[in-house]
Amino acid sequence: MKLLRQPAALIAAAVLAVVFAFGAFVPQLAPQGWNSIDLTPRWENHRPVLSGWHLFGTDNIGRDVLVRTLYALHTSEETALLATLLALVIGVAAGALAGFYGGWLDAAIMRFGDLVGTFPVLMLLLVAYVFLEPVTVTRATLVIALCLWIPVARTVRASFVSLRDAEFVQAAYSLGASDRRLFLRHLLPNAGGTVIVAATALLGQVILLEATVEFFGLGVPSQIKPTLGNLIGDTAQGGIGPFSPIGLGWWTWACPAAVLVIVLVCANLVGDGVAAAFRVGERGY
């Protein structure tokens, strides 16, 4: 497999899998919960130390920053994976219908996508979140998916248009194959590489958008569920480092920020590697 010839992508995929595993199993790794407080006075707003197992320090009321970051990663990856899956389902369905049938259906779907695509995705998310108060994880997932299905639909449509007139499709059609059989047995399997590339590219974009909206305080509040974005945003709103009026140290934002950077870099490297393996230019877009 050509993906095995992409060492950077393989290393990034391994790192991403390990990070996501920590986030997925954090309830078992830290059963005390993300809001647990170390009541010992000396552990309030303490810098990272090996003693006491506060490896990434504590915040101003004694909550472990590493535990909160892992629970935030759990929420962020849950939102990102579900939003990516939903955007793929919508995008693949819309793109496949538009590319296969063409005509007025193609024009309607693509013109609607062009209309929505004229607005910046971040602006659409911000507006939607304002009208969806209070924002929950389910609502955030749905809004992100509805804003990001368009690039997937365009990619799948282009693939279906090129495959629609292929000789093997025409041969199957002449032998009496139904539209359903053409979709499931001939077109979708041959467009699978395009869909995989779109999925890997979309995952990093979803994580970044979700963190950006949470950073501005318009997503899920950290009092309800921590995310990587709202952990960084809560610290920034009070001032970072020694200039913070509530006395928060740099470690309270550095840990979630580092995890976010690692996830984004690895997701992009995996997307680039998959695109190169399937020979899809510019990560499928």
Cβ partners under 8 Å of residue 59, min gap 6: 45, 65, 68, 248, 252
Tell whether 36 is covered by a domain: no
Tell whether 104 is covered by a domain: yes
284: left (phi over 0), alpha (psi -120 to 50) or beta: left
Tell whether 41 is covered by a domain: no
One digit per residue, the tens of pLDDT, for the chain of length 285 reads 566 777 888 898 899 999 999 988 988 888 777 777 766 656 666 777 766 567 777 777 778 888 888 998 998 888 888 989 999 999 988 988 888 888 888 899 988 988 888 888 878 787 777 777 777 778 888 888 888 888 888 888 888 888 877 777 778 777 777 777 777 777 777 777 788 888 888 888 888 888 888 887 777 777 778 888 888 887 765 544 444 444 567 778 888 889 999 999 998 888 888 878 776 444 333
Whole-structure pTM value: 0.80
Tell whether 52 is covered by a domain: no
Structural domain count, the chain = 1
Distance CA 252, CA 104 (A): 54
Tell whether 120 is covered by a domain: yes
Tell whether 156 is covered by a domain: yes
Domain range for residue 81? 2-31+61-284
Tell whether 49 is covered by a domain: no
CATH, residue 224: 1.10.3720.10
Tell whether 192 is covered by a domain: yes
